[in-house]
Amino acid sequence: MNQDLNILQLVLHASFVVQIVMALLMLVSLASWSAIFRKLFAIQRVKTHNETFEKEFWSGASLHELYTAASSKAQNAGPMERIFASGMREFQKLRERRVSDVGTLMDGARRAMRASFQREMDEVESNLSFLASVGSVSPYVGLFGTVWGIMHAFTGLASLQQVTLATVAPGIAEALVATAIGLFAAIPAVIAYNRFARDLDRIAIQHETFIEEFSNILQRNVSAQSSPAAPR
């Protein structure tokens, strides 16, 4: 078997359908890596913003000062800061309407924060389903290319009088490259998906914990004040 079986030659000599499958898988792999890096940087930004805001929140600063700062930089604020701003905004609106019932005030603030929490998680989870799809579908697409390539190779051998390993191996090797490329696209996507899913679970728990802690602070302030003045 003196025929050159390097990857480039195998791709160039593959059947047209197999080449299309390979090209599709390479494009999907590039898109997957792009989504991985975007998600990696996005999650890191979320963590940085949340840590910065948590330090400010627990430093003893006034809720009104924090709310003013969050409102002034709404586009550049982190998810936790926007959740805080949503709850504080609703709380102040209810107080301005002379609502004095503690349950009504807290329910309104919690609903606003929960709605903001869902929006933030939807935003941070974007493209995660794409990685899951790449990880689950790419191997099967590559397998389709391999099956088609092997079928094409054996069809071409039907007219030969004598078939040896040297005549069979190139066609099979060309077809197997499609499966290899499918795995090349799928494995990083699966690893990244599992890593990001764990990170997002931690972020969600962090946000939910903050909502409960902030709700307790609001409730203590409402209970301690008989007038509709703002907390802290």
One-letter amino acid identity for 104? T
Please give the pLDDT value at position 97: 85
Contact 131, 36 (CB under 8 A): yes
Q: What is d(CA 173, CA 190) in angstroms, rounded to the nearest whole number?
A: 26
Contact 148, 175 (CB under 8 A): yes
For range 100-107, the mean pLDDT: 83
Q: How many angstroms separate the Cα of 48 from the Cα of each of 37, 52, 107, 174?
A: 17, 6, 29, 47
Residue 1 has pLDDT above 60, yes or no: no
Please give the pLDDT value at position 88: 92
Band of pLDDT at residue 76, cut at 50, 70 and 90:
confident
Instruction: Give me 219's structure tokens.
Output: 């409730």
Burial of 220 (0-12, 13-18, 19+ CB in 10 A): exposed
For range 204-224, the mean pLDDT: 89
Q: What is the pLDDT of residues 85-98, one digit of tens each?
A: 999 999 889 888 88
Q: How many angstroms separate the Cα of 155 from the Cα of each of 4, 28, 149, 150, 209?
A: 22, 30, 10, 8, 63
Q: What is the pLDDT of residues 121-179, one digit of tens each?
A: 999 988 899 999 999 999 999 888 888 877 776 676 666 556 555 556 666 777 788 88
Q: Which residue has the higher pLDDT, 8 or 43?
A: 43
Q: Which residue has the higher pLDDT, 185 or 77?
A: 185
All residues at 6 or more sequence positions from 146 whose CB lies less than 8 Å from its CB, including other chains: 18, 175, 176, 178, 179
Band of pLDDT at residue 229, cut at 50, 70 and 90:
very low
Band of pLDDT at residue 113, cut at 50, 70 and 90:
very high
Of 48-52, 102-106, 145-149, which one has max mean pLDDT? 48-52
Residue 67 has pLDDT above 60, yes or no: yes
Q: What is the pLDDT of residues 168-189, one digit of tens each?
A: 666 677 778 888 889 999 999 9
Contacts 24+ apart (CB under 8 A), 41-50: 42/124, 43/124, 43/196, 43/199, 43/200, 43/203, 45/78, 46/78, 46/79, 46/124, 46/203, 47/203, 48/78, 49/77, 49/78, 49/79, 49/80, 49/81, 50/78, 50/79, 50/80, 50/203, 50/206
Band of pLDDT at residue 226, cut at 50, 70 and 90:
very low
